[in-house]
Structure formats: C-alpha cells, structure tokens
Amino acid sequence: MVIGSIVMMFAGLTSAFIVKSNQSTWVPVAVPKIFWGSTAAILLSSLTIQLALRSFKQRFMQQYRMLVGLTLILGIAFVLMQWLGFQQLWNDQGITFKGGGAGQFLYVIFGLHALHVAGGVIALVVMFVKAFIGRSKNYSSVPVEVAATYWHFVDLLWLYLLVFFVLIG
C-alpha cells in the first residue's frame, strides 16, 4: 500500500515534468556524471542487502552483520554522491530551485527520493545496531525482508528517475 502510494506520487511528478517541458521557458538540465557512481553504489547495495537477508535466514550472523554494514556504507555513499551531484548542478550549471525549467523538478523529485533513501538508511542503521546488540532468540526474518523490499524499491525508483531524466530531461 505504501509503495503503491509512493509510485503514484512519482508518476504524477514525472508526468507533470513532461507537460511542463513543452513550455517555451523550459531550461533543460544535464545530469551530473557522479549520479552514475551513485547508481552503482545503490545497485551494489541492493545486492548486499539481498545477500544479508539470505545470511540472516541461514543464521550466518557474522556474515549478516558484515553485509548489513556494507549495505549501510553503500547507502551513505549513495547519499553523499547525490549531494555532490546537486552541488555540481548548483555551482557548475547554475541550476537552482528558482526559475523555469527542469531544475525545479530535479530538486523536488530527487529531494523526495532522498527522503525515502534517508528512511531506508535509518532502517539500515537500526538493523546494524540490532545485529550487534540484539540477543533475541526470535529469528523472524520479516523485519529484514521488509527492509530489503523497501531498499530494493528505493533502488528501482532511483533507476527509473535517472533513466527518465537522461532520456526525457
């Protein structure tokens, strides 16, 4: 239900982008190259969280801890590269939130994605902490599965947004 709502929100925003891009005041934006590095980081983090889930289900807790930690590091790397990309947009291309053009949409759409990634990073921090201090005899994989599903969703959403802005933007 939540993921469906998020999909609808981004579908509406990207539809508005297409409609607005036909106006005469539209100023296109070149996507910073560092976004490709952040894409590699988030794709790799999707792999590591899936491996972490498998390790948890097999009760290989040492491997699970390492993979959750690696996923967390990759998630933070994604966020940092996104920040650097927006610094490049601001400084090199002069793209700000003001004025007409794709810049406004970039900040709103990617900013909303960043909020969702931040939620995922917080979940990863909680998982990481629980992996080291949680000494429960309950080995339910449901929380790990939910976090992994959400992280995969954020990953796929980023891929959609990147491809959208490269092809349409």
pLDDT digits (tens, 9 = 90+) for 73-95: 999 999 999 999 888 888 887 77
pLDDT-based confidence at 137, cuts 50/70/90? low
Per the domain annotation, does 115 fall within a domain?
yes
Question: In this predicted structure, what is the pLDDT of residue 36?
Answer: 95
Per the domain annotation, does 163 fall within a domain?
yes
Question: In this predicted structure, what is the pLDDT of residue 165?
Answer: 84
From CA 156, how far away is CA 46, in angstroms rounded?
Answer: 9
What is the distance of C-alpha 56 from the center of its chain?
Answer: 23
DSSP 8-state symbol, 168 = T
Per the domain annotation, does 20 fall within a domain?
no
Q: Which domain holds residue 108?
A: 32-167
Question: In this predicted structure, what is the pLDDT of residue 125?
Answer: 92
The CATH number that applies at residue 134 is 1.20.120.80
pLDDT-based confidence at 168, cuts 50/70/90? confident
pLDDT-based confidence at 55, cuts 50/70/90? very high
The strand ranges marked E within the chain are none
Overall pTM surpassing 0.75 (yes/no): yes
Q: How many domains does the chain have?
A: 1
Per the domain annotation, does 154 fall within a domain?
yes
CB neighbour list of residue 23: distance below 8 Å, 6 or more residues apart: 100
Per the domain annotation, does 14 fall within a domain?
no
What is the tens place of the pLDDT at every residue in 12-30? 888 888 887 787 777 777 8
Per the domain annotation, does 45 fall within a domain?
yes
Backbone angles phi, psi at 166, to 5 degrees: -70, -45
Q: Average of pLDDT values for 21-47?
A: 88
Question: In this predicted structure, what is the pLDDT of residue 169?
Answer: 67
Q: Average of pLDDT values for 102-125?
A: 85
* pLDDT reading at 66 higher than 90: yes
DSSP 8-state symbol, 2 = H
Per the domain annotation, does 77 fall within a domain?
yes
Per the domain annotation, does 72 fall within a domain?
yes
Question: In this predicted structure, what is the pLDDT of residue 53?
Answer: 96
Average pLDDT, the chain: 87
What is the tens place of the pLDDT at every residue in 145-157? 999 999 999 999 9
Question: In this predicted structure, what is the pLDDT of residue 40?
Answer: 97
